[in-house]
């Protein structure tokens, strides 16, 4: 019997694999070799429309929305359990498609399992409130699912970032149409097949791989679309905000970052260096919340830089599937060009390359998209490498001499996703947590989140939040009901 993870990856609409109206397919490449490993169907506008129609019918007719929530919760728990039993196969597929080390993919799939369990637990707790109003009246609210919700995902955590929004949408009773990134659709299709096995009704979870411009825009433009959740770049996020606004649809936008890491002189430098290395080299730096700007007190700059440099130079690069690999390839040759373009530009602007800044050219790596972990110092404040999201393993180092200067440097960015502070001083920690212009702050820890914690950016990093109980509110609407209780019984 074919497994959920088996190629080819078709569109998944109405509880089955469908080839797509154009019958087009593209090859998925292994980023460690740039050799094809599987095929995926490429959806069209017509496929997008078909998926929306099927989802809308399933929303109205399957009973998924009308249930009391316990059935939805059970289905999501079954899905989590099934995924856990296939964790290794899903992790291997994610690594083959996206490139990250298997250890990281296992962590990503485990995070998906946990996300499903968390939202399964909330599925029967979608509650309204009772509101005291004057007179003999009852005023209460109902929280109702929106209908068909559209989810557009990026390639850097392909399944994790898709399920981060799909899970609460399903738990709240919606029908979902998901468009994964064109480069990395494999695990999303496999996941939809697994949802079918878990008893999620046909048509409640549909996946349409294809281009953003065609499939993504057609999904948002469809009159049956009730909300859009987008995770990706700022440029596409702005386009999606316009499309959604023109149709008066709510849009949650999770966009880029340029995360500051502020290290005070009293920090534990060994732990800080490890956290900094993890925050910029994990997933080869292809993270929205990458800790890409190291703002370090000048008194500890030398010793910290020595430690970070040693970590960068000691990381073992290789195909994500190989044992002991600590950093995999970038997702595509275009991403390599983009990342090295930023480094070259910084060099021309006068920055110093402390380490890295090159492709890895060993015979076993040369055919893949490998870039050496890179640290840049003395980057001019106007350099694009300091202002724009690089989305690769590139850290820029900036010294400071007093806390106000550190705060100014940290907040001098159009982005505001996650900021990190390393200090043993509680007052400094809390003061920076309040004054950093970020949606999330971590203290004495590498970037970290949990399904129960809000995940959100401010400024150009996004609009709205994901995860946590608020996600259920985002995928429901509040209806107010007012009853006159005294009519016909009025005395005197
Ligand atoms: P991208 O914006 O190029 O694409 C994201 C998704 O949007 C893909 O599925 C793509 O096909 C689709 N898309 C492209 N054009 C579209 C259009 N006109 N209409 C509808 N959909 C369209 O982003 P990417 O390169 O896949 O991912 C990297 C970006 O994602 C980075 O900027 C990163 O910071 C951001 N990101 C943010 C978060 C977060 O939670 N804040 C998490 C991960 C990644």
Give the DSSP H/E element, type plus range, for residue 158.
helix 158-171
Q: How far is the CA of 208 from the centre of ligand 1 (A)?
A: 15
Q: Please indicate, yes or no, whether residues 306 and 235 belong to a single structural domain of this protein.
A: no
Whether the CB of 168 sits within 6 Å of ligand 1: no
Which atom of ligand 1 is least distant from the CA of 239?
Answer: 18
pLDDT of residue 140: 98
The length of the chain in residues reads 492
pLDDT of residue 4: 85
pLDDT of residue 1: 40
Name which of 200, 227, 250 is nearest 67 in CA terms.
200
CATH classification of the domain holding 426: 3.40.309.10
Q: Give the number of domains in the chain.
A: 2
pTM for this prediction: 0.97
Q: Active-site residue numbers?
A: 254, 288
DSSP states of 246-290 as a string? HTT--EEEE-----EEEE-TTS-HHHHHHHHHHHHHGGGG--TT-
Q: Please indicate, yes or no, whether residues 280 and 221 belong to a single structural domain of this protein.
A: no
pLDDT of residue 119: 98
Whether the CB of 181 sits within 6 Å of ligand 1: yes
Which atom of ligand 1 is least distant from the CA of 211?
Answer: 11
CA 431 to chain centre: 28
Q: Please indicate, yes or no, whether residues 101 and 164 belong to a single structural domain of this protein.
A: yes
Whether the CB of 222 sits within 6 Å of ligand 1: no
Question: Tens of pLDDT along the chain (492 residues)?
Answer: 468 888 889 999 999 999 999 999 999 999 999 999 999 999 999 999 999 999 999 999 999 998 789 999 999 999 999 999 999 999 999 999 999 999 999 999 999 999 999 999 999 999 999 999 999 999 999 999 999 999 999 999 999 999 999 999 999 999 999 999 999 999 999 999 999 999 999 999 999 999 999 999 999 999 999 999 999 999 999 999 999 999 999 999 999 999 999 999 999 999 999 999 999 999 999 999 999 999 999 999 999 999 999 999 999 999 999 999 999 999 999 999 999 999 999 999 999 999 999 999 999 999 999 999 999 999 999 999 999 999 999 999 999 999 999 999 999 999 999 999 999 999 999 999 999 999 999 999 999 999 999 999 999 999 999 999 999 999 999 999 999 998 655 554
The answer to whether residue 25 sits within a structural domain is yes
How many CB atoms sit inside 10 A of residue 136's CB? Answer: 12
Q: Please indicate, yes or no, whether residues 264 and 251 belong to a single structural domain of this protein.
A: no
Q: How far is the CA of 180 from the centre of ligand 1 (A)?
A: 9
CB hemisphere CA count around 18 (13 angstroms)? 21
Q: Please indicate, yes or no, whether residues 332 and 236 belong to a single structural domain of this protein.
A: no
Q: Which residues pair with 399 in a beta bridge?
A: 296
Name which of 351, 438, 359 is nearest 396 in CA terms.
351
Q: Please indicate, yes or no, whether residues 470 and 397 belong to a single structural domain of this protein.
A: no
CB 407 within 8 A of CB 433: no
Q: Please indicate, yes or no, whether residues 293 and 328 belong to a single structural domain of this protein.
A: yes
Domain enclosing residue 39, as ranges:
7-255+461-479
| Tokens describing residue 330 | 């970038």
| Tokens describing residue 65 | 């929305």
Whether the CB of 239 sits within 6 Å of ligand 1: yes
Sheet containing strand 462-463, edge to edge, reads: 16-18, 11-13, 205-207, 175-179, 148-152, 225-231, 251-254, 462-463
Whether the CB of 338 sits within 6 Å of ligand 1: no
How many CB atoms sit inside 10 A of residue 381's CB? Answer: 10
How far apart (Å, rounded) are the C-alpha atoms in residues 97 and 30?
6
Q: Please indicate, yes or no, whether residues 56 and 180 belong to a single structural domain of this protein.
A: yes
Q: Please indicate, yes or no, whether residues 466 and 428 belong to a single structural domain of this protein.
A: no
Q: Please indicate, yes or no, whether residues 58 and 151 belong to a single structural domain of this protein.
A: yes
CA angle 103/156/468 to nearest 5° reads 85
Q: Please indicate, yes or no, whether residues 108 and 180 belong to a single structural domain of this protein.
A: yes
């Amino acid at each position: 019997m074919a497994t959920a993870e088996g190629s080819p990856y078709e569109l998944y609409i109405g509880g089955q694999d469908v080839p797509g109206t154009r019958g087009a397919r593209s090859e998925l490449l292994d980023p460690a070799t740039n050799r094809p490993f599987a095929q995926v169907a490429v959806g069209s506008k017509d496929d997008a429309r078909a998926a929306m129609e099927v989802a809308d019918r399933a929303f109205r007719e399957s009973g998924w929305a009308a249930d009391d929530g316990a059935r939805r919760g059970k289905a999501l728990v079954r899905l989590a359990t099934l995924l856990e039993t296939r964790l290794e196969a899903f992790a291997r597929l994610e690594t083959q498609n996206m490139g990250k080390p298997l250890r990281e993919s296992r962590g990503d799939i485990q995070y998906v399992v946990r996300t499903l369990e968390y939202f399964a637990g909330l599925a029967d707790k979608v509650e309204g409130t009772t509101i005291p109003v004057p007179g003999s009246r009852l005023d209460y609210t109902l929280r109702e699912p929106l209908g068909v919700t559209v989810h557009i995902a990026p390639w850097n955590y392909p399944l994790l970032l898709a399920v981060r929004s799909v899970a609460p949408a399903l738990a709240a009773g919606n029908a979902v149409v998901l468009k994964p990134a064109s480069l990395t659709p494999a695990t999303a299709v496999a996941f939809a097949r697994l949802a079918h096995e878990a008893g999620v009704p046909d048509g409640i979870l549909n996946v349409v791989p294809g281009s953003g411009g065609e499939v993504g825009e057609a999904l948002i433009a469809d009159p049956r679309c009730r909300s859009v959740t987008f995770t990706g770049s700022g440029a596409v996020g702005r386009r999606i905000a316009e499309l959604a606004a023109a149709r008066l649809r709510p849009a949650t936008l999770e966009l880029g970052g340029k995360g500051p890491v502020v290290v005070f002189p009293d920090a534990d430098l060994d732990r800080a260096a490890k956290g900094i290395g993890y925050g910029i080299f994990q997933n080869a730096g292809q993270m929205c919340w990458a800790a890409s700007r190291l703002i370090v007190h000048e008194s500890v700059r030398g010793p910290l830089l020595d430690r970070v440099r040693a970590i960068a130079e000691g990381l073992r690069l290789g195909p994500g599937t190989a044992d002991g690999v600590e950093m995999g390839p970038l997702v595509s040759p275009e991403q390599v060009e983009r990342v090295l373009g930023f480094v070259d530009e910084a060099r021309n602007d006068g920055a110093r390359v402390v380490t890295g800044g090159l492709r890895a050219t060993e015979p076993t790596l040369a055919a893949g998209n490998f870039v050496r972990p890179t640290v840049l110092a003395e980057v001019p404040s106007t350099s694009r490498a300091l202002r724009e999201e690089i989305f690769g393993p590139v850290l820029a180092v900036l010294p400071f001499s007093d806390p106000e200067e550190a705060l100014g440097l940290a907040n001098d960015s159009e982005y505001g996703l996650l900021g990190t502070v390393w200090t043993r001083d509680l007052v400094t920690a809390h003061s920076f947590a309040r004054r950093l212009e970020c949606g999330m702050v971590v203290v004495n820890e590498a970037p970290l989140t949990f399904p129960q914690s809000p995940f959100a950016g401010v400024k150009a990093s996004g609009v709205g939040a994901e995860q946590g109980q608020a996600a259920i509110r985002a995928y429901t609407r509040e209806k107010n009901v007012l009853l006159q209780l005294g009519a016909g019984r009025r005395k005197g």
